[in-house]
Amino acid sequence: MTREMTYEAIMSRRGEIMKRAVGIDYSVFEYGKVAFDYEKIMRETGYTLQEMQQIQGETGVGNTPLLELKNLTALSRKIAPEGKGARIFIKDEASNPSGSFKARRAANAVYHAKRLGYKGVIAATSGNYGAAVASQAAMQGLKCIIIQECYDSTGKGQPEIIEKARKCEAYGAEVVQLTVGPELFYTFLKMLEETGYFNASLYTPFGIAGVETLGYELAMQFRERVGKDPDVVVCTNAGGGNLTGTARGLIKAGADEVKIVGASVNLKGLHMASDGDFNRKSFTTGHTGFGIPFSTWPDRSDVPRSAARPLRYMDRYVLVNQGEVFYMTEALAQLEGLERGPAGNTSLAAAFALAQEMDQDQIIVVQETEYTGAGKHIQPQLSFAKENGIKIEFGNPEDEIQGENIILPSHPSLIKAREIEMEKLRGSYIKNCVTQNNLTEVTEEDLAFLIKDCKTTREFATSILNSLNVKIIE
């Protein structure tokens, strides 16, 4: 009997499609009205750190260099208050086979797919993860389909996304390119059902656990090199897996005192799913269009329960503007001789500003870099912005208006890391848990989960629940 393939029919079957395509019965980890056993799902469906290191090592993933940016450190000290200016380091994840840290996630996901007997893998992504999955699938002898939102309704595509499509195709993947909108998730589900392939989601336990090796390596490399853990680790934050996995790896290394800072590009006012806004932004990942929604409601992802839970681990969240990231990309190339793409340079712009708050004997590290290529370079990105009516100017980045202009700082002292109020994010997360689950009451177990999941206090969580007229029952 042929199944109905309309949008409504496919969406009504999303639960069974996902269960079959991931191989995890998420329901066995649920309890209470909102809670689930996060550590149990990570433990029982993931891999140990040692297993992950072995899996990744077999395909040349991991053990990437730790580089000190001495010239950028010196520049930051010139404009910092006396005695300030922490040492700036980067973890050069561009050294991975596909050119980004996402090779760590993909190595685990594709290995797991092959282990379970799937013939191929599918991922819905316009980012580096598609290239990582395609690369790992080629190594493991599996078929690969990458689904991208690539164009607006006029057929105009962003150079960075088109660049990533070329990379996926170079590894032998089939790339399905779509216009922006709800068809992405529908097409993704439809192809999972039709092919029977594995859902190589960014948000599975084994995908997130793959990034734990990055955090663990950071701690081990710093201890060997300078005899201590870094003081601050800055993670570019989009869907939250980068930050979550890195933080978990640091904890497994015993580096519990390291402060975790999330950094995103400020794209306030530009909607991710808007056809009109799609080409008015110059960043396809690492921005607030992903970072804020996924922090405040992680289970919006393509699996029933996301293993990326950034608020569990984030100590601070800062924003940088588009022009500042472009500036730091040039600074990294011209002062340090390292040409890298924009994802890691988002965190580098933040780290450059944050280093000036810290003492000179402290250490701040950007935990990723990414490869660069024809579509990721500054010139095609800025040219594309101009074509879409965006003004390119030099001046003070504070005057940048997202979707209208990009302001390259006229002096490095103008680069700033702008705070997002963490309590506001935590409050939004709790409110989303209530509204998404239609809650009028929660158990003590639920309350404990909420406190843990957004790293807050009982007093704060209770105050938010009370403001929403949600009762706490024994």
Q: Which of 175, 205, 235 is the last residue before a domain boundary? A: 205
Is residue 258 located within the same domain as residue 407?
yes
Q: pLDDT exceeding 90 applies to what percent of the chain?
A: 78
Q: Taking a C-beta distance cutoff of 8 angstroms, is the pair 267, 402 a contact?
A: yes
What's the average model confidence in pLDDT over 142-168?
91
Write out the H or E segment, with its range, that includes residue 472. strand 471-473
Assign 23 a pLDDT band (cuts: 50, 70, 90): confident
Please tell me the predicted confidence (pLDDT) of residue 309: 97
Q: What tokens appear for 434 in the block? A: 């209530």
N-term to C-term CA, the chain: 48
Assign 184 a pLDDT band (cuts: 50, 70, 90): confident
| Number of independent structural domains in the chain | 3
Q: Which of 396, 419, 442 is the last residue before a domain boundary? A: 419
Is residue 169 located within the same domain as residue 305?
no
Assign 109 a pLDDT band (cuts: 50, 70, 90): very high
Is residue 152 located within the same domain as residue 298?
no
Q: Which of 205, 222, 244 is the last residue before a domain boundary? A: 205
Assign 44 a pLDDT band (cuts: 50, 70, 90): confident
Is residue 130 located within the same domain as residue 187?
yes
Is residue 310 located within the same domain as residue 414?
yes
Q: Residue 229 sits in a domain of what CATH number?
A: 3.40.50.1100
Is residue 71 located within the same domain as residue 110?
no
Phi-psi region of 83 (alpha: psi -120 to 50; beta: other; left: phi over 0): left
Is residue 147 located within the same domain as residue 195?
yes
Q: Which residue did the predictor score with more confidence, 152 or 365?
A: 365
- CA gap 102, 94 in Å, rounded: 10
Is residue 140 located within the same domain as residue 166?
yes
The answer to the question of residue 246 being in a domain is yes
Assign 12 a pLDDT band (cuts: 50, 70, 90): confident
What's the average model confidence in pLDDT over 41-55?
89
- CA gap 116, 300 in Å, rounded: 26
The answer to the question of residue 308 being in a domain is yes
The answer to the question of residue 2 being in a domain is no
Task: Write out pLDDT tens, residues 345-382.
Answer: 999 999 999 999 999 999 999 999 999 988 889 999 99
Q: What tokens appear for 287 in the block? A: 């921005």
Query: Is 70 exceeded by the pLDDT of residue 463?
Result: yes
The mean predicted confidence, pLDDT, of the chain is 94
The answer to the question of residue 107 being in a domain is yes
Q: What is the pTM of this model?
A: 0.96
Is residue 200 located within the same domain as residue 273?
no
Is residue 137 located within the same domain as residue 237?
no
What's the average model confidence in pLDDT over 318-331?
98
Please tell me the predicted confidence (pLDDT) of residue 180: 85
Query: Is 90 exceeded by the pLDDT of residue 301?
Result: no
Is residue 168 located within the same domain as residue 308?
no
Provide the residue range defining the domain that includes 239: 61-98+208-419
Is residue 352 located within the same domain as residue 215?
yes
